Amino acid sequence: MVHAAYLMALLPLAGFAVLVAAGRRLGDPWAGWVGTVAVVGSFVVACIALAGLLSEPASARHFSANYFSWITVGGLQVKVGILLDPLSMTMCMFVTGVSALIHLYSIGYMKGDPEFSKFFIYLNLFVFSMVLLVLANNLLVMFVGWEGVGVCSYWLVSFWHERDSAASAGKKAFIYNRVGDVGFLIALFLIFSKVGSLDLTTIFAHRGALGSAGATAVALLLLLAAAGKSAQIPLFNWLPDAMEGPTPVSALIHAATMVTAGVYLLCRVNSILALSPDAMWVIAIIGGATAFVAATIATSQQDIKKVLVFSTVSQIGYMVLAVGTGAYIAAIFLMVAHAFYKGLLFLGAGSVIHGLHDEQDLKRMGGLARLLPWTYGTFLVGWLAIAGIPPFSGFWAKSDVLANVYQKSPALWALGLVTAILTAYYMTRLFVLAFRGDDRWAAAVDGHRPSDPHESPWVMRAPLVVLAVLAFAGGILDLPWVHRDGFASWLSPVFAHTLYLAHEGAGLQVVLAVIDAVVAVIGVSIAFALWRRSVDKPTLEPAFLQRVWYWDDFYDAVIGRPGQAMARFAATVVDGRIIDGAVNGAAAAVRKGASGVRRFQTGYVRNYALGIALGLAAVIAFVISRVWWS
Amino acid sequence: MSRHLSEAAKHAHHAVTSNVIHVPSIRYLGILPVIVMLGGAVVLLGMSSLVKRPLRLRVATATTLIISLTAFGLAWWQWADVQSRGPYTTIDHAVVVDGLAVLITVLVTAAMALSALVAEGYLAREGIDGAELHVLAMVSAAGAILMAEANDLVIVFLGLEILSIALYVLTAFNHKRTESGEAALKYFVLGGFSSAVFVYGIALTYGATGTTNLTQIASFLSHNVLVHDGVLLAGMSLLLVGFAFKIAAVPFHMWTPDVYQGAPSPVTGFMAAVAKAGGFAAFLRVFVSSFGVLASDWRPIIYALAIVTLVVGAGLAVVQRDIKRMLAYSSINHAGFVLLGLQAATARGVSSALYYLFAYMFMVIGSFAVVTVMGRMGDADHDISSYRGLAKRQPLLALAFAVLLLAQAGVPFTTGFLTKFQVVIASVDGHSVPLAVVAMVSAAVAAFFYLRVTVLMYATSDEPSDGVPDAAPTVTPALVGAAGGGRTMWSGTDAAGETRTRLNAALLMEDDASAEPASDEVETTTETEEVTRIPVPVGAAVAIGICVAVTVVFGIIPAPLVDFAHRATLLFLP
């Protein structure tokens, strides 16, 4: 059963191929159904593989297979194969599962789009790349998947590329990710030069060859890669802009799956991270800082998707913080729970936007609870889950992270706690502004009242319901009192020797959990009190936060403008004069030389024969000279 | 090996003393592909002489396909046999069956099948019935296989002549074209000249070593140090020139452009692939194994030969306007690259050369298949201006040609990149760094004319007649899209687009500059023929499809093909 795992990647690839060949002919909605069926098939295979893996004893849950040799150059042997262990299995389950739901949802959301089939082409290619990234047993193959999801993200962010903002958001996403990719590549080179292999199992077995400094360098370079892909400080700015893409894309790529790839990468190389406590501290601090900064920004955004995206950045910050603490299982647990509730929230937001005819401004919403009952009900679950109200999944996942962090550093724990208050606050603000209060969307535009919002079709509602159930109940994966044989014992073989062992007693754990719950309630209450009646509170939405701590402006001044000036210099002076001059000169020389040589090509056989004879004479002359002087 | 030799000596002795003609034992599997190709040719000839009217084209093509695919299958059987039981010699050590021989057999039989597919459409278009072209091509292919299997200079010569004589006739096949006859006559006269040189080389080598058997030459040279080796070196030089003529190395190349241009286009593709493969197979075997001891003598010659071949091939291709002449010079440039592998004189060099030949076969047959299709009635329309705007009229054909040309230019994710990469690596390994540098520079020059045709195909044909293209920014995005699976997201209006516009303008203006004398005429032809879609025969389409698929698939997943060449070299005898 485990042996069929490669089908998880091949099915979306097949879907992609079918859609490339016949997508346009299938059209709306059949192209969408083809894509959805491919991914559902992938999910079914994942379930079968999971069953296969579970039937093995815990120590034997490790399946590795090479399918073919991809590159063989000198000492570099790259084989394409998969590594299926509890970590990649978990990732595959929620990646294929959430993808299947979002494919289904997209059939409704993208209805009527002129590029309907193209959307599913990209979406299927994305799922293929993501599964490849997760399953790869080799860092280079993983990098192929890594770039694959990156390029799909680029295509999907700028899906409506007739809009300038979408086109430039795509470019921004791509460029920020390239910075991270450079880190990944250099890490690959470093690992190969020290260990002599890119195969994960081999690397882990010989990780000692990296040395302490090497391990730190590799860990930090991979952190840079993760920061790019998972939108962490200092590379998080691209993710908000990426909201220019269609909402299902935001839900799938920029909330549930792709942006967690960085966290997955760090978890994957846990045995290398374990060699460098310094790097672990850096990871923890980056994660904590990102969680906090993004949460502050989320409190003052007006656009419903912008609030959610900063919330995503903040939540991934939590995951990275957990990784830096060594609490990998908590990180994965939060990742899974987050995929459920953030996917749900984005899809819910998409449903709202769909219902309001592409209105994204929170200040022009309100009073939607009555009109969009399904969306409202499911969004409610998502809101409570992310706010950390027990017994929703978010509470368990977040308190698992925070309990581990408390052991490593109370200061980081405190930062995490403040972030938790902010999380509860901004989510409540969003919820109240969108669904409660007056129906501000009804304000007349151009003199006439817009038509009532409409509830979405069933293909969009069904995924909402499924995700709502998961977001509510996801916590049972790893409840504190079943730590021994739940999610933790399933994952722990992967992190056998590197797992941070929390030493707190049951009493402290309960206290910390209660604090989390109280904090969440406080955040919710403050937001209710502040935002229930009025929507205009400029003091609570300072420009500093609205403009993302002036982070973009800083990059623009320090990197963007000098970079452009340099590019202009290179284009006009270096390229225009020096390079073009050299190329044109060389071309002229070739042309001239060739016309010279061409004169010998007379068309007369006698001349050709003379050429052969002269060549022969030259060869003989050379040989004679050798005989003479030897 | 020495055991073989002593056995051979015993046999020889026995034959002399008993005055009975000794019939050597034959392992038939070893020569079965040759027998099938030659026998098939005879059968086909018999069939066509038994029917009253000329044999139907369909029948001839189908029979040829069956025969060559049978030989192809047998070659794989040989491969399995050689893999499991090791290489061997047979027919009194005159023929050797080893990795190199089998790889070339696979190559030649595949080339034969592909060429038969391409020729089908060509012959139908030109209204030529009958099986003569197929018969001649199969005989020629048998010659090439024999060259690769030869373990005796006499057999090499036999193969060379079987290959060449059939090719002379094939060149003149289309008697309606005067260029064909002229080219064939040139080819024949010069071929005869170089054959004479080659035979004289055999004679001198025999004089110096007392044998024509390649294994025995090698063992003689490794066991004896000649004090006066002038005769031997002269013999070696003459053999070298004979081979250099066959593979079209400069300055023995001058027949190539005329013959490639004059021969019917499907024949040109076949010739470029098969004659080079056979010639290089024997060249590699004779020089790397038999004259291996003399490497210090012949490596400098090959070094110089490779440099002039690379430079002249690339340089002269730039100034051609006839696509067939351009591809002829490009094939000379490719021969220079293969010489890099020979010059290295190592296992890696041999393996890279074999890989090059194998991958090049698909590129060149595919390219000439497109040229055949584009040549239209009379096989005469080969000016590169007729490719202008092809992408708009026939996007698939243009895409296929673009892929094949880019592969020849050495663009990554095609086999063309790996071929160049491997020979250059082999050359660097052999401490011939300057040669490798020259090769890379020539590749950069060569990229120009491949790209020129590609850009022309993707330029829109309704541009203003002053030659400055308005629509140039769409060109590169279209290419990028083509390479990336047909999806284009690029707006083409950014700053980079402007640079592209300038670049493309430069490319096309350069083209126009060289077209200056005939520019009016060119414009009018594109105007009138713009609307006509050139029909692509099924056979040619299949052949082009296979060539493109092999070029791209093994460019992305190189391991199987690289491994094939590598293992063929491991089983290189002696």
Of B194, B238, B254, the CB nearest to A601: B254
Percentage of chain A lying above the pLDDT 90 cut: 32
State the virtual CA torsion across B146, B147, B151, B153 in degrees, nearest 10. Answer: 120
Cβ distance B448 to A608 less than 8 Å, yes or no, reads: no
Chain B nearest-CA distance from A623, in A, is: 7
Asked if A594 lies within 8 A of B316 by C-beta distance, the reply is yes
Give whichever of A314-328, B450-464, B507-521 has the largest mean pLDDT.
A314-328
Task: Tell me which chain B residues have a C-beta less than 8 angstroms from the C-beta of A16.
Answer: none
The pLDDT score that the predictor gives to residue A444 is 58
Q: What is the pairing mode between strands A76-84 and B88-90?
A: unpaired
Report the run of H or E that residue A84 belongs to, with start and end: strand A76-84
The whole-chain average pLDDT of chain B stands at 84
Outline where A436-560 has alpha helix (H): 458-473, 487-491, 506-531, 543-546, 551-555
Q: Closest CB to B315: pick one of A571, A593, A615.
A: A593
CA-CA distance, B213 to B217, in Å (whole number)?
A: 6
Contact between residue A287 and residue A303 where contact means Cβ atoms under 8 Å apart: no
Residue-wise burial string across A417-435, b where 16 or more C-beta atoms lie within 10 A, e elsewhere:
bbbbbbbbbbbbbbbbbbb
Full 3-state SS string of A21-59: HHHHHHHHHHHHHHHHHHHHHHHHHHHHHHHHHHCCCHH
Q: For the ranges A363-372, A392-401, A442-451, which has the lowest average pLDDT?
A: A442-451
Find which of A18, A144, A172, A623 to mutate to test the B interface (most B CBs within 10 Å of its CB).
Answer: A623
d(CA B537, CA B541): 6
**How large is the angle between the packed helices B132-149 and B265-284, nearest 10 degrees?**
10
CB A612 within 8 A of CB B244: no
Length of chain B: 574
Question: In this complex, is the C-beta atom of A591 within 8 Å of any C-beta atom belonging to chain B?
Answer: yes
Beta bridge partners of A303: A361
A566 sits in the region (left: phi over 0; alpha: psi -120 to 50; else beta) called alpha
Comparison of pLDDT for A245 and B238, the residue scoring more: B238
CA distance A626 to chain B (A): 8
Cβ-Cβ contacts under 8 Å for A396 (sequence gap 6 or more): A333, A337, A390, A474, A475, A478, A479, A480
Give residue A359's region: left, alpha or beta (phi > 0; psi -120 to 50): beta
Mean pLDDT of B312-336: 92
Q: What is the pLDDT of residue B512?
A: 42
Mean pLDDT of A212-238: 91
Max mean pLDDT range (A454-463, B29-38, B522-531)? B29-38
| Confidence label for B238 from pLDDT (cuts 50, 70 and 90) | very high
Distance CA A494, CA A270 (A): 9
Q: Using CA atoms, how far apart are residues B395 and B414, in angstroms rounded to an integer? A: 20
pLDDT at B13: 52
Q: ∠ at Cα B260 (B256, B261), nearest 5°?
A: 120
A482 backbone dihedrals φ, ψ, rounded to 5°: -115, 25
- Tell me the C-alpha distance between A360 and A354, whole Å: 9
Interface test with B, best of A599, A608, A610 (most B CBs within 10 A): A608
Return the pLDDT at B267. 94
Residue B456 makes CB contacts below 8 A (sequence gap 6+) with: B384, B385, B387, B388, B389, B390, B508, B511
Strands B88-90, B95-97: parallel, antiparallel or unpaired by DSSP? Answer: antiparallel
At B471 the pLDDT is 37
For residue A28, name the pLDDT band (cuts at 50, 70, 90). confident
Q: What is the pLDDT of residues A177-199, one digit of tens each?
A: 888 999 999 999 999 988 888 88
Give the count of beta carbons closer than 10 Å to the beta carbon of residue A508. Answer: 14
Q: What is the mean pLDDT of residues B481-507?
A: 43
Q: What pLDDT was estimated at residue B485? A: 37
B-contacting residues of A 148-167, CB under 8 Å? 154-155, 158, 161, 167
Pick A158's closest partner by Cβ from B190, B194, B489: B489
Distance CA B513, CA B522 (A): 13
Are A3 and A65 within 8 A, CB to CB?
yes
C-alpha span between A176 and A191 (Å, rounded)? 23
Contact B559 A71 (CB under 8 A): yes
B-contacting residues in A 90-129 (Cβ below 8 Å):
118, 121
Which DSSP state fits A448? B
How is residue B55 annotated by DSSP? P
Q: Do A571 and B495 touch (CB under 8 A)?
A: yes
Question: With DSSP H G I counted as helix, E B as strand and the rest as coil, what are the percentages for chain B, rounded to 5?
Answer: 80, 0, 20
B505 — pLDDT class (breaks 50, 70, 90): very low
pLDDT at A447: 61
| pLDDT (0 to 100) of residue A351 | 87
| Higher pLDDT among residues B239 and B524, named by residue | B239
**Which residues in A lie closer than 8 A to residue B238 (C-beta atoms)?**
616
Evaluated on CA atoms B513, B516, B518, B520, the torsion sign reads positive
Band of pLDDT at residue B428, cut at 50, 70 and 90: very high
Q: pLDDT class for B494, splitting at 50, 70, 90? A: very low
Confidence of residue B31 (pLDDT cuts 50, 70, 90): very high
Q: How many pairs of residues across A and B have Cβ atoms under 8 Å apart? A: 105
Residue A522: is its pLDDT beyond 80?
Answer: yes
* Cβ neighbours of B184 (radius 10 Å): 23
Q: pLDDT category, A445, cuts 50, 70, 90?
A: low
Q: Measure the N-to-C terminal CA separation of chain A; round to a whole number of Å.
A: 71
**How far away is chain A from the Cα of B131, in angstroms, using its nearest Cα?**
31
- Return the axis-axis angle of helices B347-374 and B323-344, rounded to nearest 10°: 170
Does residue B80 register a pLDDT over 80? Answer: yes
Distance CA B294, CA B205 (A): 13
Q: Looking at residue A296, what is its pLDDT?
A: 92
pLDDT at B322 over 50: yes
Q: Are A88 and A137 in contact (CB under 8 A)?
A: no
Q: Which residue among A70, A603, A608 places its CB closest to the CB of B557?
A: A70
How many angstroms separate the CA of residue A182 from the nearest CA in chain B? 21
The predicted structure's pLDDT at residue B510 = 46
Whether residue A609 and residue B190 make contact (CB cut-off 8 A), yes or no, is yes
Contact B240, B30 (CB under 8 A): no
Q: Are A520 and A428 in contact (CB under 8 A)?
A: no
Q: Count Cα neighbours of A219 within 13 Å in the Cβ-side half-sphere.
A: 27
pLDDT for B470 equals 38
- pLDDT tens per residue, range A49-97: 998 888 888 778 888 888 888 877 777 788 888 898 889 999 999 899 9
Confidence of residue B492 (pLDDT cuts 50, 70, 90): very low
User: Would you put residue A392 in left (φ > 0), alpha (ψ -120 to 50) or beta?
Assistant: beta
**Minimal Cα–Cα distance from A245 to chain B, Å?**
14
A572 contacts chain B (CB < 8 A)? no
Contact call for residues B394 and B428 (beta carbons, < 8 A): no
Is the CB of B237 less than 8 angstroms away from the CB of A608?
Answer: no
pLDDT at res. A591: 82
* Percentage of residues in chain B having pLDDT higher than 70: 83
The pLDDT assigned to B460 comes to 65
Residue A556 to chain B, least CA–CA distance (Å): 18
Q: How far is A159 from chain B (nearest CA, A)?
A: 8
- Whether residues A155 and B485 touch (CB distance < 8 A) is answered with no
Indicate the angle between helix axes B230-246 and B153-171, nearest 10 degrees.
30
Domain-wise residue ranges, chain B: 28-460+535-570, 474-530
Which amino acid makes up residue B498?
E
Is the reported ipTM for this assembly greater than 0.85?
A: no
The pair of structure tokens assigned to B311 is 């430079």
Token code pair at residue B416? 């063309």
More confident residue, A351 or B520: A351
Q: What is the per-residue pLDDT across B408-427, written as a single tens digit (0 to 9) for each?
A: 999 988 999 999 999 999 99
A623 shares contact with chain B (CB less than 8 Å): yes
Residues of B in contact with A603 (CB under 8 A): 258
The closest CB to that of A591, out of B234, B240, B319, belongs to B319
- Min mean pLDDT across A348-352, A403-407, B521-525 is at B521-525
Q: Which helix (H) or strand (E) holds A77?
A: strand A76-84
Torsion angle of the four alpha carbons A57, A60, A61, A63, in this order, in degrees rounded to the nearest 10: -150
Q: Residue B549 — pLDDT band, cuts 50, 70, 90?
A: very high
Give residue-wise pLDDT tens across range B138-194. Answer: 999 999 999 999 999 999 999 999 999 999 999 998 888 888 889 999 999 999 999
H-helix or E-strand spanning residue A354 = helix A328-355
| Tens of pLDDT, residues B271-294 | 999 999 999 999 999 999 899 888
- If one counts every other C-beta atom within 10 angstroms of the C-beta of residue B263, the result is 31
| Cβ neighbours of A571 in B, within 8 Å | 495, 499
Contacts of A342 (CB under 8 A, 6+ apart): A251, A255, A256, A308, A311, A312, A315, A382, A386
Per residue in B196-224, pLDDT (tens digit) is 999 999 999 999 999 999 999 999 998 88
Nearest to B235 by CA among B245, B243, B246, B225: B243
Q: What is the residue-averaged pLDDT of chain A?
A: 86
CB-CB neighbors (< 8 A) of B255 in chain A: 608
Query: Quick one: pLDDT at residue B250?
Result: 87
Tell me the two tokens of residue A10.
């091949």
The band of B103, judged by pLDDT with boundaries at 50, 70 and 90, is very high
Q: Does A75 touch chain B (CB under 8 A)?
A: no
Taking CA atoms, A553 is separated from A228, B32, B408, B426, in Å, by 19, 76, 47, 52
Q: B510 and A575: CB-CB below 8 Å?
A: no
- Residue B519's pLDDT band (boundaries 50, 70, 90)? very low
**Most A-contacting residue of B316, B325, B425 (CB-CB within 10 A), to test interface:** B316
